[in-house]
């Protein structure tokens, strides 16, 4: 493609060779264009760092600081707060839209906002941001995604001078990103200072969270060659933005497909709802501990990620050193190695009725598929091997909880104003529904 060699892997065998058998050889990332280097502070993020000590330090910090099982449990209150707000927002939207073909909600927009709230909360630990403020931060993050989208000059660098306007715009968006996130960083810094000096009267858990990702960057992160990360505002902005971006659109996209499947199949919806009623009932909201014990919900989430992986491709890999081979071919170090996920998770050699959406395939006695790929690759919506998504457990927890809360709070159906539901998709950073889903909702009677 232009001046770049792009190698697309579309089979489970070769993906296994690249990510597991020769995982160390292909664990790097390719060089970036200048725009993306601005937003990654020259590859100083977990996802963009080349394989080596810097990547290891960043990834270890993100996992132990935020994404480990124990940390994930600690953030259960942030999730519950965001879920309550999510359901309340949808109730309000449904009520205000009731004149126009019955109560309805735009699914992706609401899901995206809910996930964004959780991640903002986890990143900065500031719990009193009002909705207008959150919407402003979200708008800037979206502009960053647009500024870093793939461009023709990524492949044909000699065209770069023609893109000077976009380059100038990217610098302006970076300034805006810093101006938006830095005040949040500084506020958390001041709170931590106050707490340390013990003259704080902060209401822990109401105004500030006891812990945030930013705290791990300010306290523990040591990376050779990058100076004092805690004192470098640019690096802090970059790392905080990474955590928020990586988990927002991927999870929200999965929720839109989940609701489409629920609307499409009344029996799937009835079984999900019956499971929620059995385990929790309608006297209190579902929480993450409940969802772990719901086998049909877990099977539904797995089938969702098999049939609708939120991204077509894993992030691009690259060979660490010259001399590596894949499927017998030489792989140059400067080649992009992309793994195409749908051909694996719908491979008729690996799956029975691969194009059918059927959560039952994962229930007892049926299919087993190790989603991490280490015991054999059949579906890898989170990638596999050394660069596997560190947010895997968090992503699954968020999807399961949101689906459970959505069926607990509403009965879902197709909206009469919409054409017949179809499952055509389109790439918009993630793989979204081609026609955004507007669903009809009937609030259920809950006693909490």
The site for ligand HEM (CB under 6 A) is made up of 46-47, 59, 243, 246-247, 250-251, 254, 310-311, 314-315, 381-383, 387-391, 394-395
30 or 285: CB nearest ligand HEM: 30
Q: Smallest gap, in angstroms, from Cβ of residue 43 to ligand HEM?
A: 11
Q: Smallest gap, in angstroms, from Cβ of residue 364 to ligand HEM?
A: 24
218 or 315: CB nearest ligand HEM: 315
Q: Smallest gap, in angstroms, from Cβ of residue 145 to ligand HEM?
A: 15
Closest CA to 221 of 236, 237, 242: 236
Query: CA 122 to CA 254: how far, in whole Å?
Result: 20
Query: CA 31 to CA 318: how far, in whole Å?
Result: 9
Binding residues for heme: 389
- What residue ranges in 167-244 does DSSP mark as E strands? none
35 or 47: CB nearest ligand HEM: 47
142 or 386: CB nearest ligand HEM: 386
Q: Smallest gap, in angstroms, from Cβ of residue 179 to ligand HEM?
A: 23
Residue 312 main-chain phi, psi, to 5 deg:
-65, -40
Q: Which H or E run contains 413?
A: strand 410-414
Binding residues: 389
Q: Smallest gap, in angstroms, from Cβ of residue 113 to ligand HEM?
A: 15
Query: CA 16 to CA 29: how far, in whole Å?
Result: 18
Sequence-ordered list of residues with C-beta below 8 angstroms from that of 362, at least 6 positions apart, any chain? 298, 299, 302, 303, 368, 369
Q: Smallest gap, in angstroms, from Cβ of residue 207 to ligand HEM?
A: 23
Query: CA 308 to CA 381: how far, in whole Å?
Result: 9
241 or 407: CB nearest ligand HEM: 241
Closest CA to 328 of 10, 18, 52, 79: 18
Which residue is associated with the tokens 């942030």?
78
7 or 94: CB nearest ligand HEM: 7
51 or 351: CB nearest ligand HEM: 51
The answer to whether the Cα torsion of 392, 325, 155, 164 is positive or negative is positive
150 or 283: CB nearest ligand HEM: 150
Q: Smallest gap, in angstroms, from Cβ of residue 381 to ligand HEM?
A: 5
> DSSP letter string over 31-64?
---HHHHHHTTTT-STTTSPTTHHHHHHHHHHII
Q: Smallest gap, in angstroms, from Cβ of residue 247 to ligand HEM?
A: 3
43 or 91: CB nearest ligand HEM: 43
| Per-residue tokens: 274 | 């019956």
End-to-end C-alpha distance for the chain, whole angstroms: 56
Query: CA 77 to CA 60: how far, in whole Å?
Result: 24
Which residue is nearest to ligand HEM, using beta carbons? 391
Query: CA 14 to CA 329: how far, in whole Å?
Result: 11
Exposure string for 355-377, b = 16+ CB within 10 A, e = fewer: eebbbebbeeeebebebbbeeeb
Q: Smallest gap, in angstroms, from Cβ of residue 212 to ligand HEM?
A: 13
Cβ(295)–Cβ(147) under 8 Å? no
């Amino acid at each position: 493609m232009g001046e770049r060699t792009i190698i697309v892997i579309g089979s489970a065998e070769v993906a296994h060779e690249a990510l597991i058998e020769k995982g160390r050889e292909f664990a790097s990332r390719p060089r970036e264009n200048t725009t993306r280097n601005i937003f990654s502070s020259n590859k100083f993020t977990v996802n963009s760092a080349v394989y080596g000590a810097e990547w290891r330090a960043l990834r270890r910090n993100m996992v132990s600081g935020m994404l480990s099982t124990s940390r994930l449990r600690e953030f259960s209150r942030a999730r519950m707060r965001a879920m309550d707000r999510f359901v309340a927002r949808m109730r309000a939207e449904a009520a205000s839209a009731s004149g126009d073909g019955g109560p309805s909600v735009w699914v992706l927009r609401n899901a995206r906002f809910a996930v964004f709230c959780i991640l903002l909360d986890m990143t900065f630990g500031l719990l009193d941001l009002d909705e207008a403020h959150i919407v402003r931060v979200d708008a800037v993050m979206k502009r960053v995604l647009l500024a870093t989208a793939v461009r023709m000059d990524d492949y044909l660098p000699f065209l770069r001078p023609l893109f000077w306007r976009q380059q100038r715009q990217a610098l302006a968006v970076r300034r805006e990103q810093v101006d938006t996130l830095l005040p949040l960083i500084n506020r958390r810094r001041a709170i931590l200072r106050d707490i340390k000096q013990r003259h704080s009267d902060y209401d822990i858990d109401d105004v500030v969270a006891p812990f945030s990702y930013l705290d791990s960057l300010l306290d523990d992160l040591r990376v050779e060659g990058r100076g004092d990360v805690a004192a470098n505002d640019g690096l802090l902005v970059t790392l905080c933005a990474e955590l928020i971006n990586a988990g927002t659109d991927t999870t929200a996209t999965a929720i839109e497909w989940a609701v489409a499947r629920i609307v499409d199949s009344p029996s799937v919806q009835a079984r999900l709802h019956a499971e929620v009623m059995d385990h929790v009932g309608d006297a209190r909201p579902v929480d993450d501990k409940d969802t772990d014990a719901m086998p049909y919900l877990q099977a539904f989430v797995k089938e969702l990620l098999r049939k609708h992986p939120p991204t077509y491709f894993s992030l691009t890999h690259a060979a660490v050193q010259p001399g590596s081979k894949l499927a017998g071919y030489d792989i140059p170090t400067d080649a992009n190695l992309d793994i195409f996920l749908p051909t694996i998770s719908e491979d008729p050699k690996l799956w029975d009725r691969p194009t059918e959406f059927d959560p039952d395939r994962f229930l007892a006695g049926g299919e087993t598929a190790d989603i991490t790929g280490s015991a054999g690759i059949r579906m890898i919506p989170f990638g596999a091997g050394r660069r596997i998504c560190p947010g895997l457990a968090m992503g699954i927890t968020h999807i399961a909880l949101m689906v459970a809360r959505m069926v607990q709070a509403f009965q879902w159906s197709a909206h009469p104003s919409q054409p017949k539901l179809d499952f055509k998709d389109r790439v918009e950073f993630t793989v979204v529904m081609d026609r955004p889903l507007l669903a009809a909702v009937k609030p259920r009677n809950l006693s909490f």
